[in-house]
Amino acid sequence: MKVGIIAASGKSGSLITDKCLQAGMDVTAFVRHPKKLVKNVPYQKRDIFDISKKDVSDLDILINAIGFPIGDEKKHIDVAQHLVSILNGSQTRLLVVGSAGHLYTDDSRTGKIYDNLGFMRTPSINFEKAYRYLKENAQFPWTFFAPAVNFEYSRPETDDYSLGTDVVLTNQNSESIIGYQDYTTALVNEIKSPKFINSMMTISEN
């Protein structure tokens, strides 16, 4: 399986690259700074907005793991628009490393996490706009993978988690929490055994 990873040298992207390689996938990295790659994989030196239809034409999967600093979150909307423009009409599946901020707080689907996020409300709304653009305009298979509210890089892998769609999940202590290792494991499992095609998905430890 041919997998392209945008921002493969970042925190999420590096772990995703590693897990995809462990799963025997054929990985190509899309990076601006190849020297930052932690794995020796084929790469294309590209800004995300320079990735072309030709660059992704032979991929089975394209993973968008890019992040932007606070203040630049509107770029997620621009990224969604660009990726839709180069993927529309193809069979390449897009998986997006998303945000928990616009998950619903419960099954009534009347409130969002970002309603109580203060200064982080605007970044979450911009991520939601990117998700909506993808949902409304994509003519290819996609999945938007929102982590738990607490997304912890150094948290040990548990392999004990639940998956859902657009409602926040919590553990037995009512915490919405997941480590990067469990998140990337779930993402690779979703590639191998798709269950959330053209849908949001989310995760939390049990």
The whole-angstrom distance between residue 190's C-alpha and the CA centroid of its chain comes to: 12
Complete edge-to-edge strand list for the sheet that includes strand 26-31: 43-45, 26-31, 2-6, 61-64, 93-97, 142-146, 199-205, 161-164
The tens digit of pLDDT for each residue in 2-34 reads 999 999 999 999 999 999 999 999 999 999 999
Q: What is the mean pLDDT of residues 117-126?
A: 85
- Taking Cα atoms as reference points, which of 136, 8, 33, 31 lies closest to residue 77? 136
Q: What are the tens digits of pLDDT across the range 136-168?
A: 999 999 999 999 999 999 999 999 999 999 999
Helices (H), the chain: 11-22, 53-56, 75-87, 121-137, 180-192
pTM value surpassing 0.85: yes
Residue % of the chain over a pLDDT of 90: 93
Q: Domains in the chain, please, with CATH? A: 2-205 (3.40.50.720)
Looking at the predicted structure, is the pLDDT value of residue 119 above 80? no
